[in-house]
């Protein structure tokens, strides 16, 4: 039975969920319930699929102004919600002269050296890392030798930064190095506080590595409770894409110093930082879940212990979505629909450019872009400008967030032009609703369209796959499907058969039920808080 939360939601604020403890604490970085998308839909699906489990939610975001109101209603079995912003601008601290604790900074240096030069035995190194973190974490408490003020203002911190800059930095700007290190590391102190104040949970489930995964590692270390990791996309891979596209990372080398074959130092520093956090999470996790085999192998290559990894594909609500097939018109709708956030990783620009060719050859065709535009407003504005510049204002329609059930009967093709995906729910949802898919050759898209095993492939192609950033190829493939009813109906039948055989939510729930039972069984009946002891500061 679900126990009542300590502070149940009120009519005035249905998101005010506070509890003394929970069964599973979900660690959510930039996703549910404040951001819509495939991962958030999956989180919502998992919570509702286990009504007997009391879930807590710990949302980790960048800054409060980057998020609006929650996008999802909280299920009744969410008993606790807390939100934390790791890049929030706080009031300036009062700077106090401080020499700093030499021994504490020496131990911090040892930690950085361990991250910088990983050993051959990842398991043995993780034990050393855990022991060192266990020693350092209490020192990060307010008033202790490595608290936030000591990191920001002590002479030991200044000397350490200067020494690291001279030893490793290949960028000539010490000022940029100084602020990069600060911005990069300050969230660690925020997450340490979050971990110390977290309500007891019987197990922890992080939906990525990164900052959420680091928090999971701290909680595992503090409590001894099981940590589960589910990676939809590989976090470090996606952060690398973001970092290579980012314009805020400085490269101060002059034209004679730059080497096109080398990654600028600050980009490389950020990449190594997220790789270190990812490896720490892999080593701390009891179970590591990927959506498909290629990502599982990548996890192992990135340091995950192979024996703890497994694949659990996404599953969809087949009974609900299959009912939408009856609502479809007899004629194939000439509508290509991209369902996703309007952000660079979805490469919406390529989809819009492809529509110029599609509309020229098939004037009835329309493009619908169904997803929020508020995550990267500058990119969204550029997408609107491209559509206007190509004379597609009446043909490319930006619909904002839409309900899948309302859209699917009205479209002829689900399109993903992304430069990175994992196992996209939207393709599976389209198949279940009777809509073929067209995707770029990323993540598991080829597996979903053409099948994985010989038996799966025998079901046929559920659409088509093209290369990344190839608008002409995307246009040609879309036209080939939409203007050939025989091929389109064959793709529709293949998609329905594939999703019914391999990708139902009952299969997914069964696999996760086993993981949760194992983790909760290890914990026993009563959550406990096992906070690290803080040494007395002398």
Nearest to 132 by CA among 151, 115, 156, 153: 115
Residue 121 confidence (pLDDT): 61
What is the enclosing helix (H) or strand (E) of 40?
helix 38-49
As beta bridge partners, residue 368 has 337, 397
Mean pLDDT score of the chain, rounded to an integer? 89
Residue 97 confidence (pLDDT): 74
Under the banding of pLDDT at 50, 70 and 90, the label for residue 533 is very low
CB 422 within 8 A of CB 291: yes
CB 521 within 8 A of CB 488: no
Q: Is 481 helix (H, G, I), strand (E, B) or coil?
A: helix
Instruction: Give residue limits of the domains in the chain.
Output: 318-502
Residue 120 confidence (pLDDT): 52
Report the C-alpha gap between 154 and 149 in whole angstroms: 7
Report the C-alpha gap between 500 and 408 in whole angstroms: 17
Domain 318-502: what homologous superfamily?
A: Glycogen Phosphorylase B; (3.40.50.2000)
Burial of 268 per CB tally in 10 Å (0-12, 13-18, 19+): middle
As beta bridge partners, residue 29 has 60
Under the banding of pLDDT at 50, 70 and 90, the label for residue 129 is confident
How does pLDDT run across 154-209, given as a tens digit for each residue? 999 999 999 999 999 988 899 999 999 988 899 999 999 999 999 999 999 999 99
What is the arithmetic mean of pLDDT over 44-62? 97
Residue 265 confidence (pLDDT): 87
Report the C-alpha gap between 313 and 213 in whole angstroms: 20
What is 231-278 written as a DSSP string? Answer: ESS-HHHHHHHHHHH-SSS-----TTT--TTS--HHHHHHHHHHHHHH
Residue 7 confidence (pLDDT): 56
For residue 302, is pLDDT > 70?
A: yes
Residue 226 confidence (pLDDT): 97
How does pLDDT run across 100-119, given as a tens digit for each residue? 889 989 988 888 888 776 55
How does pLDDT run across 483-524, given as a tens digit for each residue? 999 999 999 999 999 999 999 999 999 999 999 999 999 877
């Amino acid at each position: 039975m679900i126990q009542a939360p300590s502070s149940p939601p009120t009519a005035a604020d249905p998101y005010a969920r506070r509890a003394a403890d929970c069964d599973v604490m979900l660690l959510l970085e930039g996703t549910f319930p404040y951001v819509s998308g495939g991962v958030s839909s999956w989180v919502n699906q998992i919570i509702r699929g286990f009504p007997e489990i009391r879930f807590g939610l710990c949302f980790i975001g960048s800054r409060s102004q980057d998020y609006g109101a929650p996008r999802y209603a909280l299920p009744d079995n969410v008993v606790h919600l807390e939100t934390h912003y790791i890049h929030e601008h706080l009031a300036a601290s009062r700077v106090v002269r401080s020499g700093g604790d030499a021994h504490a900074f020496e131990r911090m240096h040892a930690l950085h050296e361990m991250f910088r030069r990983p050993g051959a035995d990842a398991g043995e190194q993780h034990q050393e890392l855990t022991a060192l973190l266990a020693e350092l974490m209490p020192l990060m408490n307010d008033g202790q030798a490595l608290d936030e003020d000591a990191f920001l203002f002590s002479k030991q911190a200044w000397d350490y930064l200067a020494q690291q800059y001279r030893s490793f930095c290949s960028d000539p700007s010490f000022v940029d190095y100084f602020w990069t290190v600060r911005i990069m590391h300050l969230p660690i102190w925020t997450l340490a506080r979050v971990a110390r104040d977290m309500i007891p949970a019987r197990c922890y489930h992080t939906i990525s590595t990164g900052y959420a995964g680091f928090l999971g590692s701290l909680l595992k270390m503090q409590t001894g409770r099981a940590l589960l990791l589910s990676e939809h996309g590989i976090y470090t891979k996606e952060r690398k894409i973001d970092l290579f596209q980012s314009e805020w990372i400085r490269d101060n080398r002059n034209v004679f110093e730059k080497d096109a074959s080398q990654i600028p130092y600050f980009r490389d520093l950020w990449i190594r930082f997220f790789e270190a956090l990812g490896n720490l999470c892999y080593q701390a996790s009891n179970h590591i879940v990927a959506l498909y085999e290629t990502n599982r192998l990548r996890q192992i290559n990135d340091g995950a212990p192979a024996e703890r990894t497994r694949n659990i594909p996404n599953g969809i609500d087949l009974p609900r979505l299959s009912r939408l097939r009856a609502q479809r018109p007899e004629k194939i709708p000439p509508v290509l629909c991209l369902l996703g956030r309007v952000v660079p990783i979805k490469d919406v620009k390529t989809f819009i450019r492809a529509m110029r060719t599609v509309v020229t050859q098939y004037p009835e065709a329309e493009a619908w872009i169904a997803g929020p535009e508020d995550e990267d407003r500058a990119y969204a504005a550029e997408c609107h400008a491209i559509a206007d510049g190509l004379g597609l204002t009446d043909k490319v329609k930006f619909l904002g967030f839409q309900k899948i059930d309302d859209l699917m009967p009205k479209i002829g093709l689900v399109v993903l032009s992304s430069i990175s995906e994992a196992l996209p729910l939207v393709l599976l949802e389209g198949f279940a609703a009777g809509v073929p898919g067209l995707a770029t050759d990323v993540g598991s898209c080829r597996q979903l369209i053409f099948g994985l095993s010989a038996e799966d492939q025998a079901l046929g192609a559920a659409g088509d796959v093209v290369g990344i950033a190839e608008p002409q190829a995307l246009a040609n493939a879309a036209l080939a499907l939409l203007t050939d009813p025989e091929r389109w109906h064959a793709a529709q039948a293949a998609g329905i058969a594939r999703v019914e055989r391999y990708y139902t939510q009952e299969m997914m729930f069964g696999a996760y039920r086993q993981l949760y039972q194992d983790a909760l069984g290890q914990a026993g009946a009563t959550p406990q808080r096992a906070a690290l002891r803080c040494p007395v500061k002398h």
